[in-house]
Amino acid sequence: MNANEFDVIIIGGGITGAGTQRDCAMRGLRTLLIERSDIATGATGRNHGLLHSGARYAVNDPESAEECIKENMILRRIAAHCIDETDGLFITLPEDDLGYQQNFVEACQRAGINAEIIDPDLARRLEPSVNPELIGAVKVPDGSVDPFRLCAANMLDAKLHGGQVRLHTEVTGFIKEGDTIKGVHTYNHQTGEKADYYAPVTVNACGIWGQHMAEMVGVKVGMFPAKGALLIFAHRVNNLVINRCRKPSNADILVPGDTVCIIGTTSTRIPFEECDHVAVTPDEVDLLITEGAKLAPSLSSTRILRAYAGVRPLVSADDDPSGRNISRGIVCLDHETRDGIKGFITITGGKLMTYRLMAEIATDAVCRKLAVEKSCQTAEIPLPGSEEKSYEAVAQKIWESPTMAQKAAAARMGTRAERIRTGNKRDDALICECEEVSVGEINAAIDRLEVSTLTDLRRRTRVGMGTCQGEFCACRAAGLLAKAHGCVERERADLEDFLQERWKGNFPIGWGDTLREAEYTQWVYKHVLGL
C-alpha cells in the first residue's frame, strides 16, 4: 500500500471523527483523519462541556437518557483525565412546578440514572453558590468534560495505533469511480498543497458541515443548523453542575469546568451560510446572564470572560424540509443501502457525550464494509493519559513535591505529564501564568498533538484561556511556535488571528473588568509591542 492509501478516511476532526479514528485504528485499520481547521472547532469545541447524566432527557427522550448514562459511566473509566466528576443538581425554583420533580426522578430511575431527591438545605451545603430560594433539588451523576482534551486524547491514541492526521486540510472534492467513492481531493490551507488520498471507505463525521460533504458526494442528508450561545465566567463559581428541574429550556445549565464555569445555552435555527460566522447577539447575552443568575445569583456580579456560539447539527428524522421532526438519537447512514453510493458513511446526530457509541456504530459499519471482524474495545481501554484516575496521584508519582504548575499539568495531561519532566529547569518556565502552562507542556503538545497555530495550542493546553485572554502568553507562545515550525511571518499572522479570535469573544460582554483587560491588551500589542 502506498503512502496515500488507507483503509478508511475519516473527514471531520470533531469528537465523532477523532473517536471513530481511534476505534478504527484500534481494530487494526490504516486510518487517515482529515480536518479543514483544527480538532474540536465545530460543535465539539463550542458547547457546555457537560458530561450528561442523561437526566435532562429522561422525561422526553428515554432512549437518549439511557444511552447517556451508560456512556457517562464508560467515559469516567476510559477518559478519567478529561473528566471532572462533579455531580449535578436539578433545582426547582419557586416559579417552577415542584410536581415535575417526581415525574423527573421516576423517569431517571427507569433509564438507569441514579437520581436522588435531596433536601434544599443539603443542596445549599453541597453547592453554596446555588440559588438559596430553591424549593427542591435532585442530585444526579452529572460531570464536566474538557472536549478539547478528550478529542486530542482520541486523536493521540489513533496515532499511537498507526493513524495519520491532516489538520488544516480541506476536502475539496471526492474521487468517484462510477457510484463508488474511492478517495478525496484535499487542499492544505497552511501550505497551499493539494493532495489526493485513497480508501475503500470514507466516513463523513463533519457535524453540520456533513450536509456539504454529502452534497459533494451527491446525496441528500437533511440537516438543520441550530446555533447555541454560551458565556464563560472568569472563575469557577460552582462545583456541582446546576440544572433547572423543568422541561428543558434556554440557558438552564451552569457547568463548572477547570478554572471557569459556563452558562448555556440557546437554540436558534440559522441558515447554512452563517455556520462559519456565528456571533453572539446582545439579546442572547442578556438572556444568558438573566437565566444564569436564577441558577446561581452570584453570576450577576461575576466577571464574564467570553461569549461564544456553536452550531448543533440537527438531523431530520424524515424528508420534511421544514425540519420539524428532528431525530433525537444517533444517526448512522450507510449511503450504499440508502442512496446507492458505495464507500461512504455519514455518522451524525447524537451528542458529545455519546461520541464513543457513535464511533463504535460507525466503525462497525466500516468494518462490515471491509469484512474485518474485530470487536470494539474503546469502552475498556483507557485513553492515553487516563490510566490513573487521580491527578494528585499522578503528580505525586512524577514529582515528589509538585509545584502549582506541575499539578496543573498533571490535571491536564494525566499520566502523559511524565513527558514534561525533562530535568531541564528551563522547561518549567511558565508561558501562561493564568493557567500555569509551562514551556515543557507546550513543547509536548507541539511534538505529539498536531499543533500548528496558537489557537490549536490553546485548545490542547489552555494557553490563553485565563482571564488575561492571551495578553502575555500569546506572544510568548508565538515565539515557541515560530521556533518549532520555522516561519516567523506565518506566526505573526497567527498571532493577529489569535488576538482577533479572543476579541471576538470579548466585545459582546465588553464592560467592567473585561473591557479593562481588552484595553490593556490593545495597549500592549499595539503601543508596546508594535504588532
Partner 1 sequence: MKLQEYTESNHNFEECMKCTVCTAYCPVLQANPLYPGPKQAGPDGERLRLKDPYFFNQALKYCLNCKRCEVACPSGVHVADLIQSARIKYDHTPPKLRDRMLASTDFMGKLARPVAPIVNAVTGLGITKTVLDATLKIDHHRTFPKYSGMGFESWLKRHHKAQAEFPEQVAYFHGCYVNYNYPQLGKDLVKVLNALGVGVQLLDKEKCCGIALITNGMSEEARKHALHNVDELRKAVVEKGLKVVTTSSTCAFTMRDEYPNLLGVDNAAVRDSLMLATRFIFEKLEKGAQLKFKAGYHKRIAYHTPCHLEKMGWGIFSQKLLQMIPGIEFTLLDSNCCGISGTYGFKKENYEVSQAIGEPLFAQIRSINPDVVACDCETCKWQIEMSTGYPVLNPISILAEALE
Partner 2 sequence: MKFDTVIIGGGLAGMVAGITLQKAGKRTAIISTGQNALHFFSGCFESMQEPDQRVIDLFAEAGVRLHYTPGVRLMPMGTFKESALALEDIDLFPTPQFARKALIVNFLGYHDFFSSFLAQGLEKQGMSCRVRFLNLPEMEKLEQSPSEMRSVQIARTMDRIWEKVVQEVRVLLKDEDVVILPQVFGLQDISVPGRIRQGIPARVVFAGTLPPSVPGVRTQILLKKRYEVLGGTYFMGDEVLRAHAHDGVVHSVATHNLDNHYIEASDFILSTGTFFSKGLVSNPFEVYEPIFGLDVTYREDRNEWYNPAFREDQPYMQFGVKADEKLHALLGGQPLENLYVAGSVLGGNRPEFGTAAGQAIRTALFAADQILRREAPQEEKPSEEEAPKEK
Position 512 contacts partner 1 (CB under 8 A):
yes
Determine the Cα angle at 412 with ends 168 and 35, to 5°.
15
Here the cell at position 91 is 433545582
With respect to partner 2, which residue has the nearer C-beta, 1 or 528? 528
Q: What is the DSSP secondary-structure string of 112-144?
A: T---EEE-HHHHHHH-TTS-TT--EEEEE--EE
Position 259 contacts partner 1 (CB under 8 A):
yes
Here the cell at position 255 is 457547568
Position 433 contacts partner 1 (CB under 8 A):
yes
> What whole-number distance in Å separates Cα of residue 460 and Cα of residue 407?
16
Residues 204-243 interacting with partner 1 (rule: CB under 8 A):
234-236
Whether the Cβ atoms of residue 99 and residue 59 lie closer than 8 Å to each other:
no
CB of 291 to partner 1, least distance (A): 11
CB of 50 to partner 1, least distance (A): 17
DSSP annotation of 416: G
The partner in contact with residue 438, picked from partner 1, partner 2, none with C-beta cut-offs of 5 to 8 angstroms by kind, is partner 2
CB of 408 to partner 2, least distance (A): 11
Three-class secondary structure of residue 147 per DSSP? helix
With respect to partner 2, which residue has the nearer C-beta, 159 or 502? 502
Whether the Cβ atoms of residue 344 and residue 335 lie closer than 8 Å to each other:
yes
CB of 297 to partner 1, least distance (A): 10
Three-class secondary structure of residue 528 per DSSP? helix
Whether the Cβ atoms of residue 40 and residue 147 lie closer than 8 Å to each other:
yes
The partner in contact with residue 500, picked from partner 2, partner 1, none with C-beta cut-offs of 5 to 8 angstroms by kind, is partner 2
Nearest to 411 by CA among 123, 81, 48, 120: 81
> What whole-number distance in Å separates Cα of residue 446 and Cα of residue 339?
41
With respect to partner 1, which residue has the nearer C-beta, 293 or 398? 293
Determine the Cα angle at 441 with ends 435 and 445, to 5°.
115
Near partner 1 by CB under 8 A: residue from 320, 516, 522, 526: 516
Position 466 contacts partner 1 (CB under 8 A):
yes
Whether the Cβ atoms of residue 15 and residue 355 lie closer than 8 Å to each other:
yes
Piece of the chain touching partner 1 by CB under 8 A; list 7-15, 33-41, 192-200, 397-405? 397-405
With respect to partner 2, which residue has the nearer C-beta, 125 or 483? 483
Whether the Cβ atoms of residue 104 and residue 55 lie closer than 8 Å to each other:
yes
With respect to partner 1, which residue has the nearer C-beta, 276 or 286? 286
Position 522 contacts partner 1 (CB under 8 A):
no
Here the cell at position 207 is 457535524
With respect to partner 1, which residue has the nearer C-beta, 161 or 294? 294
Near partner 1 by CB under 8 A: residue from 436, 450, 456, 491: 436
With respect to partner 2, which residue has the nearer C-beta, 198 or 503? 503
Binding site for partner 1 (CB under 8 A): 234-236, 256, 258-259, 286, 289-290, 293, 298, 300-304, 391-392, 401, 403-404, 407-408, 411, 433-434, 436, 466-468, 471-472, 511-513, 516-517, 520
